[in-house]
């Protein structure tokens, strides 16, 4: 059976162009970028060239890019870095952030910091007005993601950045779902700190970056050598950085994705009754569609589609044996039942119109099958 991948928001394949660069760099560039001999200097040059490539993608200066092990570390460095340096105060974030931000906030609360979690509206947008209502005189940091990983809903960052400027807070955004896929310019977004992750846009797992605007001071997470201008200790992952730099120039690979996503979404809505797009009213990432199917368990859909050769995901998390509904969909006001009936389709380079058409068929078949055996979907109680 052919397997088709529609889970690019979880991770994406290493792009062939990147793989070639990565293999060359792993084979040839093995010096430590801190060494003063020839091998070290070659590594250093490659590292700095990669930094310039990432900076060009973000519209910033190379020295403002700190390489990290991925998105989680970049988010942690941003949040702990700002709050622990100040040593007290208040942080504003949203209740639909990725766990890399939410669980870092939980730890900050345990350390005595105060956090306000702003809820999105029913279309999944955190408005600048809602953020403004949450700020206090001691707000030191505002962190709101660029696009949500489950719904793809894009956030009005320029307005939120303006609120941060008004109240003198640092503004961080988790751009893990957008950087490398759609244009992301830190100056236009008004970000002081921005996280990105290589494995979401064609680089391997284990490399990411945090943009740190010149003048923003961070307390490091790791103590060791004086790497990355003393913002991130540890021998640099030069091949990873080189791969990230190469992937940063491949945004065009994501160019035609919107057409495929729209074909998928319209095809499903036309074929399947009682299906609804979560976040439909908002501006969304061109590759993401989150759809709820009345009367169906999202987890059952994921398994059913996998058996038919299609990899998708549900935002639900399995904890202590029970399926927990997505915190993102709950934050948007969905009932636990509706949240549990949602499935995320996320497209990327390599997906084709034929795969999309096959997926539409598979979704229609799975829904019919699952509704036939579903106890909650009794004809007449759900409006088809
Ligand atoms: N933030 C968002 C929005 C994400 O989607 C992810 C990964 O799924 C992360 C952070 C974590 O990134 P990484 O897997 O590189 O640690």
Q: Domains for the chain: give ranges and CATH numbers.
A: 16-251 (3.40.640.10), 255-373 (3.90.1150.10)
Q: Residue whose CA is closest, atom 13 of ligand 1?
A: 71
**Closest approach atom of ligand 1 to CA 70:** 15
101, 79 contact by CB (below 8 A): yes
Give me ligand 1 centre to Cα 179, in Å.
11
Long-range contacts of 220-227 (CB under 8 A, 24+ apart): 220/77, 220/81, 221/73, 221/76, 221/77, 221/80, 221/81, 225/34, 227/34
Contact status, residue 70 vs residue 197, Cβ threshold 8 Å: yes
Beta-strand pair 193-197/208-212: antiparallel
Shortest-distance atom of ligand 1 to CA 11 = 8
Residue nearest to atom 10 of ligand 1 (CA): 71
User: Which residues are known to be catalytic?
Assistant: 318
CA of 217 to the centre of ligand 1 (A): 23
CA neighbor of 66 nearest in space, from 202, 205, 178, 208: 208
Distance 165 CA to ligand 1 centre (A): 26
pLDDT tens digits, the chain, 384 residues: what are they?
A: 999 999 999 999 999 999 999 999 999 999 999 999 999 999 999 999 999 999 999 999 999 999 999 999 999 999 999 999 999 999 999 999 999 999 999 999 999 999 999 999 999 999 999 999 999 999 999 999 999 999 999 999 999 999 999 999 999 999 999 999 999 999 999 999 999 999 999 999 999 999 999 999 999 999 999 999 999 999 999 999 999 999 999 999 999 999 999 999 999 999 999 999 999 999 999 999 999 999 999 999 999 999 999 999 997 666 556 778 999 999 999 999 999 999 999 999 999 999 999 999 999 999 999 999 886 666 555 544
In the reported structure, the alpha carbon of residue 370 is separated from the centroid of ligand 1 by a whole-number distance in angstroms of 31
DSSP per residue, 319-371: ETTEEEPPHHHHHTT--HHHHHTEEEEE--TT--HHHHHHHHHHHHHHHHHHH
Which residue is closest in CA terms to ligand 1's atom 4? Answer: 176
- 26 near 239, Cβ under 8 Å? yes
The residues, any chain, with a CB within 8 Å of residue 9's CB and separated by 6 or more, are: 149, 150, 152, 177, 200, 287, 288, 313, 344, 346
- Cα of 100 from ligand 1 centre, angstroms: 7
Residue 379, token pair as written in the block: 């004809």
* Ligand 1, residues at Cβ distance < 6 Å: 70-72, 75, 98, 100, 145, 149, 174, 176-177, 197, 199, 208
Ligand 1 atom closest to 148 (CA): 3
Closest residue (by CA) to atom 12 of ligand 1?
A: 71
The minimum-distance atom of ligand 1 relative to the CA of 100 is: 10
pTM summary value: 0.96
């Amino acid at each position: 059976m052919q397997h088709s991948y529609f889970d690019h928001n979880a991770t994406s394949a290493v792009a062939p162009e990147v793989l070639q660069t990565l293999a060359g760099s792993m084979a040839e560039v093995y010096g430590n970028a801190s060494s003063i001999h020839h091998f070290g200097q070659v590594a250093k040059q490659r590292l700095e060239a990669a930094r310039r490539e990432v900076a060009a993608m973000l519209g910033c200066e190379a020295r403002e890019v700190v390489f990290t092990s991925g998105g989680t570390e970049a988010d942690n460095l941003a949040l702990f870095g700002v709050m622990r340096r100040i040593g007290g105060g208040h942080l504003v974030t949203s209740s639909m952030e990725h766990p890399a931000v939410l669980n870092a906030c939980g730890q900050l609360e345990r350390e005595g910091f105060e956090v306000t979690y702003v809820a999105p509206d029913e279309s999944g947008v955190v408005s600048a007005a809602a953020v403004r209502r949450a700020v206090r005189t001691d707000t030191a940091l505002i962190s709101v993601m660029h696009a949500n990983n489950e719904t793809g809903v894009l956030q009005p960052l320029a307005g939120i950045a303006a609120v941060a400027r008004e109240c003198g807070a640092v503004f961080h955004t988790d751009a893990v779902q957008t950087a490398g896929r759609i244009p992301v310019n830190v100056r236009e977004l008004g970000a002081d700190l921005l996280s990105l992750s290589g494995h979401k846009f064609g680089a391997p797992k284990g490399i990411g970056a945090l943009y740190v605007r010149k003048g923003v001071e961070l307390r490091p997470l790791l103590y060791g050598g004086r790497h990355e201008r003393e913002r991130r200790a540890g021998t640099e992952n030069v091949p990873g950085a080189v791969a990230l730099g190469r992937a940063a120039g491949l945004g065009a690979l994501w160019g035609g994705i919107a057409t495929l996503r729209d074909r998928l979404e319209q095809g499903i809505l036309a074929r399947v009754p009682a299906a609804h797009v979560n976040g439909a009213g908002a501006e969304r990432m061109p590759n993401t569609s989150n759809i709820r199917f009345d009367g169906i368990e999202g987890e059952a859909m994921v398994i059913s589609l996998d058996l038919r050769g299609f990899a998708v995901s549900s935002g639900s998390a399995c904890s202590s044996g029970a399926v927990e509904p997505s915190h993102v969909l709950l934050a948007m006001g969905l009932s636990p039942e509706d949240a549990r009936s949602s499935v995320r389709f996320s497209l990327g380079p390599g997906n084709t119109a034929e795969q999309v058409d096959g997926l539409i068929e598979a979704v229609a078949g799975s829904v019919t099958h699952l509704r036939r055996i579903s106890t909650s979907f009794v004809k007449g109680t759900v409006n088809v």
